[in-house]
Structures are given as C-alpha cells and as structure tokens.
C-alpha cells in the first residue's frame, strides 16, 4: 500500500475497527508480503481490531469475457466515438462472429432485457 492509501485509511475512514480488503494477486507486482505486514502493523498498533484480506483466484482474468473485451479494446483505439451510441456501435463492430453485443442502459426505446 502506498502513502496515498495509508492517508486514505487514516483521513477518510470512519473509525471502523473491522475492515475487509480484496486484492488482486498479480504475480508481476508481487506486493503481497508488504501489504500483509502493513495490515498486521495496523492491527498491532490498534488502528484496527480485525482485518480480513481476500485474494482473487489465480488466472481470474484469463477467461472469455476478458478476451472479447481485449478484441474491442484493440478496435477502439482506431474508432472515433463522441456519443454513447457510437461507443455501442464500436462494440458491435469489434467482433466478426457477433460475440460482442452492446447493451445500453437507460434507453427507453431499447430496454435491456436480461
């Protein structure tokens, strides 16, 4: 955790004694030991009574929705969209097989059906 997060916990917290953090277990930025020691220090000095730390599953980003999002992201770089409808059109045009289907929320003409 950087200085910004430390200040945020101290300045913007409501004095809570129990905290729950969810972390991304990113192997490229292995900061797990530093984060665990920092949170342990917070408990030892009495800033918190209980801190629960949860890590996401390994390879949580290696699944089909992320792959399709990556396809759209590569197309998005070369797309000029100034309105939300243009962004939706770029999503629809991003895959050749039609897997990327845009769903606009709050559109009374085309309500979202789940």
Span 14-30, average pLDDT: 73
Task: Please classify residue 76 by burial: count the beta carbons closer than 10 Å to its beta carbon, then call 0-12 exposed, 13-18 middle and 19+ buried.
Answer: middle
Range(s) of the domain holding residue 15 = 3-55
Are 39 and 82 contained in the same domain?
no
Let me know whether 30 and 48 are in one domain.
yes
Angstrom distance (rounded) from CA 41 to CA 8? 16
pLDDT beyond 70 at 100: yes
Q: What is the per-residue pLDDT across 36-51, written as a single tens digit (0 to 9) for each?
A: 888 888 889 888 899 8
Instruction: Report the domain count for the chain.
Output: 2
Which residue has better confidence, 9 or 100?
A: 100
pLDDT at 4: 46
Quote the pLDDT of residue 44. 92
* Residues 73, 41 share a domain: no
Over residues 88-114, the mean pLDDT reads 75
Mean pLDDT across the chain: 75
């Amino acid at each position: 955790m950087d200085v910004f997060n430390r200040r945020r916990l101290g300045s913007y917290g409501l004095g809570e004694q129990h905290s729950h953090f969810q972390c991304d277990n990113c192997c490229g930025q292995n900061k797990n030991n530093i984060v665990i020691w920092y949170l342990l220090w917070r408990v030892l000095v009495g800033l918190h009574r209980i801190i629960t730390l949860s890590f996401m599953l390994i390879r949580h980003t290696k699944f089909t929705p992320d792959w399709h999002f990556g396809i759209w992201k590569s197309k998005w770089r070369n797309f000029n969209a100034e309105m939300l409808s243009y962004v939706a059109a770029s999503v629809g045009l991003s895959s050749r097989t039609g897997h990327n289907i845009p769903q606009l929320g709050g559109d009374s003409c085309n309500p979202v059906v789940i």
